[in-house]
Amino acid sequence: YIAGFQYGAKKAFPGIKTLNDYSNNFVTQAKCKEKALNQIAQGSVVEFQVAGQCGLGVLDAAHAKGIFGIGVDADQGYLGSWVMTSALKRVDVAVYNAIQAANHGKLAGGANKQFSATIGGVGYGKWSPKVPASIKNAVATQFKKLKAGQIKGIPSTVK
C-alpha cells in the first residue's frame, strides 16, 4: 500500500514530499495517532493509514487536526467526512476465487496469489462529500488504467 500510494502521489505531484513512520503495532491506536500527529506537525495534509486497528488512531489524528485521512482494508468512510476514501483490500474476491479454484480442482497449495485491480482484488471506497470532483475523476481515470494493466513500474517496496 505505501509503495503504491507514494508512487501515485509522486506521479500526480512531482516533487511532493511523503513521510513514513511505523508503529510496529496493528492494535494500539494511541501509537498510530502519535505518529500521525508528528507527521501533521511536519506539514502533512493527508494521512494514509495502513496499520489495521492501530491505524484508526491515524484517522482520529486527521479528524482532530482538520485534514483528510485515507482508510485501509475496508471502507472506513463511515467514520466521517474527514475520511477522503479508503484503499480496499477485496478479501471477498480472494476467497471467492479460491473457492472457485478448489471446486474446479485448480487450487494450488503452497503458492502465493496476487489479487490485483485487474481482477477486482483491490479498489477504493466511497468518497467524502468534501472531496472535489476533479480529484475523484482523476483517481477514477488512473484506477481504470491500473485495472487495464496500463500502469507499469509500481515498486513493491518503500523507498
* Per-position DSSP letters for the chain, written without gaps between them: -HHHHHHHHHHHSTT--------S-SS-HHHHHHHHHHHHHTT-SEEE--STTTTHHHHHHHHHHT-EEEEEES--GGG-TTEEEEEEE-HHHHHHHHHHHHHTT---TT------GGGTSEEE-PPPTTS-HHHHHHHHHHHHHHHTT------SS--
- Average pLDDT score over residue span 88-103: 92
What pLDDT, on a 0 to 100 scale, did the predictor assign at position 71? 96
| Confidence label for 1 from pLDDT (cuts 50, 70 and 90) | confident
pTM for this entry: 0.89
What pLDDT, on a 0 to 100 scale, did the predictor assign at position 83? 98
User: What pLDDT digit, counting tens, does each position of 28-60 carry?
Assistant: 999 999 999 999 999 999 999 998 899 999 999
Residue 159 has pLDDT above 80, yes or no: no
